Amino acid sequence: MTDAAELRARTAELLAAHPPATTDRTDFLRARFDAGLAWVHYPVGLGGLAAPRSLQAVVDAGLAAAGAPDNDPRKIGIGLGMAAPTILAYGSEELKRRFLRPLWTGEEVWCQLFSEPGAGSDLAALGTRAVRDGDAWVVDGQKVWTSSAHVAGFAILIARTDPEAPKHRGITYFVCDMTDPGVEVRPLRQITGEAEFNEVFLSGVRIPDAYRLGEVGEGWRVARTTLMNERVSIGGARLPREGGMIGPVAATWRARPDLRTHDLHRRLLTLWVQAEVARLTGERLRQGLAAGQPGPEGSGTKLLFARLNQEISSLEVELMGDEGLLYGDWTMRRPDLVDFTGRDPGYRYLRSKGNSIEGGTSEVLLNIVAERVLGLPAEPRDDKDVAWKDLTR
């Protein structure tokens, strides 16, 4: 089995053959993938070495010390955190080899076509239709709240393929080429003034059956893999101490003694401790991932992430007083990533309101934690065995 010593040796070989200072960034990332050092726990030939996931830190540390470029994971988070594990679990060998390398290097950006105007929290009620036509599927419908659709080349998509089946059993999962005819992306302007989200209209889009992930009608099972990975990637990201939203508040507190009050000090200490607990919990969750796919525990970390971000940003605005009300860049832009720490407090306060919606609403995640983590009785559901076409909408 691959161990830390072997990974250090492989990292040194990569750096010797492709010196970061003189190698094109994309060429270096491609070489890293081909050397199996992209995500070491993936199979050989697909960016990994079938090594324990925990050993990724050995590679990352060696490359960072040498000044090697990374793949800008914040910009391609949907591809890395959602599309890649789903393709690995359910894609054909052809799809794995076609998509995983450019996905990891960032040459192809991904988005997620799941939510719809009438199917957000109740995602399984989605109505986008995919009808078989020979060796392809013809897709018609509308998706909404799609991050990065305006810069994405590909999307993971779920669509209704059998309206006669109950809602969870008539869904199929596809890879959609966002440049195909019939795909239209429109911006959704947010409270921040920006439009990082989009609505996507699909009109007669033809998707080859070879771009299907999983069996026909088994899309909900495939989508659950995506959703569990999504919640881990949102709520369980690796952070240093005082990483994330708590960092700017703590820095302001230290730099501006004129803003301090006893009550704010007490609240800041409470949130600092909670942020540190969340950080360590995320680390523990990632260590548990070494044993397999993420479970429902990721919903708990995402819940905590949303609540803490909102409470911390609220405290920051209160701490800053009149200055905290300022938001100096309320302009219509279409950013390709979300930057919480590189903006002013007003932006953080406004943007954090979306944290309890994106990646699964907090209300839905509370149900998941209650039922699948704590083992509490499930809420009554009287539509599980009703054909989708007969549901009240």
Catalytic residues, by residue number, are: 230
Kind of pairing between the strands at 212-213 and 110-113: unpaired
- E-state strands within the chain: 110-113, 129-133, 136-143, 154-160, 171-177, 183-188, 197-208, 212-213
Tokens of 175: 């890879």
**Hunting for tokens 């050397």 — which residue is that?**
35
Amino acid symbol at 26: T
54 by Cβ neighbours in 10 Å (0-12 / 13-18 / 19+) ranks as middle
Q: Which residues, in sequence order, are CB contacts of 59 under 8 Å at separation 6+?
A: 7, 10, 11, 37, 40
Helix (H, G, I), strand (E, B), or coil: what is residue 177?
strand
Q: Which residues, in sequence order, are CB contacts of 55 under 8 Å at separation 6+?
A: 2, 3, 4, 7, 40, 41
